[in-house]
Amino acid sequence: MVNKSKKVKIRLIYKITLIVTLLLILAIGIQTYLTINYERRTLTRLILGEGFRTSSRVIANIEDSKGNISILKRRIAREISSHDGVVFYKIAKPTGEIYLSSDEGEIGRSIDYPIPPTNETIVQDSSHNGEAIKLFISRAYNGDTVWLGFSTKSVELAINEMMWRDLQIAFYLILMSLVFSYILANSVITPIKKLTEGVEEIGSGNLDYRIDIRTKDEIGHLAIAFNKMTKNLKESRAKLEEYSKTLEKRVDERTEELNKRIRELKDAKAATLNLLEDMDKASRELRESYQKLAEADRLKDEFMNIAAHELKTPLVPIMGYLSMLRDGSLGELTREEKDSLEIISRNVDRLKKLIDDILDISKLESGAMKFEMRDVQVAEIIKNSVEDMRSYAEGKGLTIKAEIQPNLPPIQGDKNRLMQVLTDLIDNAIKFTEKGCIVIKARREKDNILVKVKDTGIGISKENINKLFTKFYQVDSSLSRRYGGTGLGLAICKRIVEAHGGRIWVDSELGKGSTFQFTLPVKKQTL
């Protein structure tokens, strides 16, 4: 175990030393690269500046010499001698013939260098006798052209000297970093090694082991905490062993109690079986009761259907006689007789509405109702319904209006049944609104047409909204007596809308009015 810890320590020291050294090499490399580039640019700018100044002075000497070549030659020689960087010069006439050169063998020859088109000085990278140079080309006002070659060897020498100096510095820094990294890594890893050995000892079960680290840093604090933890762990183990003995005793006691409970459970099992038999019997009785209730509900629906048909048969001639009495076919009526006749007519209409609703709900629930599905314009249904109900609304002092989105697509539906839905909703809105207005809105929402009937009436409480579309449901019996109604209208509306593939719901707040909404799917080919 000791050899293993020693190997781990050596590996960690090697890794830390390597990382520090690599980081230092990287930092020195980057610094050297940036310094050399900066120095190269600086020295190059100095050469360029000196070249431009020298070219300007040579041009000035050409103009001052006024064609005297001997005077110009002395001045050029004096100017060039003051600059070690000038490796050659040439001066040519406008015709390109060299009349002054650092190499006298070229005098009289035609120039083989480019001639600038303007009086500005241009600079090119070139070479002379295998040496890199900066070639400055200038043109005097009299048309003469000057070529000056400046050596860049001084730049390379300075850069090489700088690189050699930086390499020496880097070598000593890296050597120092290796020593420093080893010392630092050893000072950090030795306490960690001791901690590792302590963990291994504790892991093997030796709770008497203590770590001997006396530094004042975080690792020292960690060693103190580790020794304290080991001490607490030893104490906890002693307590755990004591508790284990106590627990064994308690387990024996609980086992005895469990055996006693098992015996009691066996007795309870027998009682439970008896109870299950009783529950099974009760379940059978409950099923029988449900079947009887279902049969009673079926008989009730059948009775309602038969009763509605039987009531409707005599109602037709009664309505015919009432119509004849109204138009005076059976003789003139007094005012009192007309009032009585009006009361009878209203009650007959209510009775007819009740009978029609009962027949409709029966057909809808049994699936016997047939829908004449065809292309229907919702806007037309709304306009017709509003006009049919306008006199009723205005008779109560209410305003009724329609807000319809233009160019609504057609739907596939039964026009009369949809008129029935909209008329029932508008009728309810007028019935339960004392003042204000009724607004019928229609707009397209994705693949559906949404229709809203909004009123400013008495509203509906939240607890009654969920039951509102249940058949025969009345929100309040007092409201039923005051406003009338069978409790079937909304149930019929719900089933008709759902038969068209839509849905119906209501948003309402007590005392603030209601908004009944339903959707109808747009005809498929218009989607």
Write the pLDDT tens digit of every residue in 172-195: 777 887 777 777 666 666 666 666
- Same-domain status, 27 and 7: yes
pLDDT of residue 461: 87
Lowest mean pLDDT, pick from 95-99, 248-252, 444-448: 95-99
- Asked whether the beta carbons of 195 and 209 are under 8 A apart, the reply is no
Task: Indicate if the pLDDT at residue 472 is higher than 70.
Answer: yes
Average pLDDT value over all residues in the chain: 76
- Asked whether the beta carbons of 397 and 422 are under 8 A apart, the reply is no
Residue 403's pLDDT band (cuts 50, 70, 90): very high
> From start to end of 289-436, where are the E strands?
374-376, 399-404, 411-413
- Same-domain status, 216 and 362: yes
- Same-domain status, 323 and 441: no
Task: Indicate if the pLDDT at residue 371 is higher than 80.
Answer: yes
Q: What are phi and psi of 102, to 5 degrees?
A: -70, -25
User: Higher model confidence: residue 481 or residue 293?
Assistant: 293
Lowest mean pLDDT, pick from 154-163, 243-252, 260-269, 372-381: 154-163
pLDDT of residue 8: 55
- Answer whether residue 194 is part of any domain: no
pLDDT, average across residues 40-66: 70
| Euclidean distance between CA atoms 418 and 371, whole angstroms | 10
- Answer whether residue 464 is part of any domain: yes
pLDDT of residue 391: 93
Using CA atoms, how far residue 206 sits from 236, 281, 289, in Å, is 14, 69, 76
pLDDT of residue 133: 75
Determine the structural domain holding residue 414 and report its residue range. Answer: 370-521
- Same-domain status, 281 and 248: yes
Tokens of 403: 């807000």
pLDDT of residue 476: 57
Strand order in the sheet with 131-139: 98-101, 86-92, 145-151, 131-139, 122-128
User: Higher model confidence: residue 464 or residue 219?
Assistant: 464
Q: In terms of DSSP H, where are the helices of 399-438?
A: 415-431
- Same-domain status, 409 and 477: yes
Q: Is 253 exposed, middle or buried (0-12, 13-18, 19+ CB in 10 A)?
A: exposed
pLDDT, average across residues 234-252: 77
- Asked whether the beta carbons of 408 and 520 are under 8 A apart, the reply is no
Using CA atoms, how far residue 239 sits from 39, 244, 253, in Å, is 75, 8, 21
pLDDT of residue 379: 96
Altogether, the residues listed in the chain come to a count of 527
Taking alpha carbons only, the member of 284, 343, 280, 347 closest to residue 311 is 347
- Same-domain status, 404 and 376: yes
pLDDT, average across residues 383-411: 95
pLDDT of residue 372: 92
For the chain, the domain total comes to 3
Residue 292's pLDDT band (cuts 50, 70, 90): low
- Same-domain status, 109 and 48: yes
pLDDT of residue 294: 57
- Answer whether residue 240 is part of any domain: yes
- Same-domain status, 292 and 145: no
- Answer whether residue 170 is part of any domain: no
- Same-domain status, 67 and 48: yes
- Same-domain status, 12 and 136: yes
- Asked whether the beta carbons of 446 and 434 are under 8 A apart, the reply is no
Q: What are phi and psi of 200, to 5 degrees?
A: -65, -40
pLDDT of residue 72: 73
Q: Give the CATH number of the domain where residue 413 resides.
A: 3.30.565.10
Taking alpha carbons only, the member of 472, 460, 469 closest to residue 507 is 460
Taking alpha carbons only, the member of 62, 51, 73 closest to residue 121 is 51
pLDDT of residue 516: 97
- Same-domain status, 328 and 383: no
- Answer whether residue 121 is part of any domain: yes
pLDDT, average across residues 323-343: 72
Residue 402's pLDDT band (cuts 50, 70, 90): very high
Q: Percent of the chain beyond pLDDT 90? A: 22
pLDDT, average across residues 244-265: 80
pLDDT of residue 373: 93
Tokens of 409: 């697509």
Task: Indicate if the pLDDT at residue 493 is higher than 90.
Answer: yes
- Asked whether the beta carbons of 1 and 200 are under 8 A apart, the reply is yes
- Same-domain status, 495 and 446: yes
Q: Over the stretch 306-319, which tens digit does the pLDDT of each residue have?
A: 655 555 566 666 76
Q: pTM score, two decimals?
A: 0.43
Count CB neighbours of 46 within 10 A: 13
Given 354, 369, 384, the domain boundary residue is 369
Q: Which residues contact residue 460 at a Cβ distance below 8 angstroms, ignoring those fewer than 6 apart? A: 468, 475, 506, 508, 510, 514
Q: Which residues contact residue 491 at a Cβ distance below 8 angstroms, ignoring those fewer than 6 apart? A: 361, 469, 470, 471, 472, 473
Q: Over the stretch 104-118, which tens digit does the pLDDT of each residue have?
A: 777 777 776 666 666
Cross-strand bridge partners of residue 400: 438
- Asked whether the beta carbons of 455 and 432 are under 8 A apart, the reply is yes
Q: Give the CATH number of the domain where residue 4 resides.
A: 3.30.450.20
Task: Indicate if the pLDDT at residue 385 is higher than 90.
Answer: yes
Cross-strand bridge partners of residue 519: 450
Residue in the block written with tokens 């304290």: 228
Task: Indicate if the pLDDT at residue 412 is higher than 60.
Answer: yes
Given 369, 397, 413, the domain boundary residue is 369
Given 338, 369, 400, the domain boundary residue is 369
pLDDT, average across residues 35-55: 69
Task: Indicate if the pLDDT at residue 414 is higher than 90.
Answer: yes
Task: Indicate if the pLDDT at residue 6 is higher than 60.
Answer: no
| Euclidean distance between CA atoms 465 and 508, whole angstroms | 8
- Answer whether residue 199 is part of any domain: no
pLDDT of residue 438: 96
Q: Is 382 exposed, middle or buried (0-12, 13-18, 19+ CB in 10 A)?
A: buried
pLDDT of residue 336: 80
Q: Which residues contact residue 448 at a Cβ distance below 8 angstroms, ignoring those fewer than 6 apart? A: 502, 519, 520, 521, 522
- Asked whether the beta carbons of 408 and 442 are under 8 A apart, the reply is yes
Buried b (16+ CB within 10 A) or exposed e, 409-446: ebbbbbbebbbbbbbbbbbbbbbbbeeeebbbbbeeee
Task: Indicate if the pLDDT at residue 444 is higher than 80.
Answer: yes
Residue 126's pLDDT band (cuts 50, 70, 90): confident
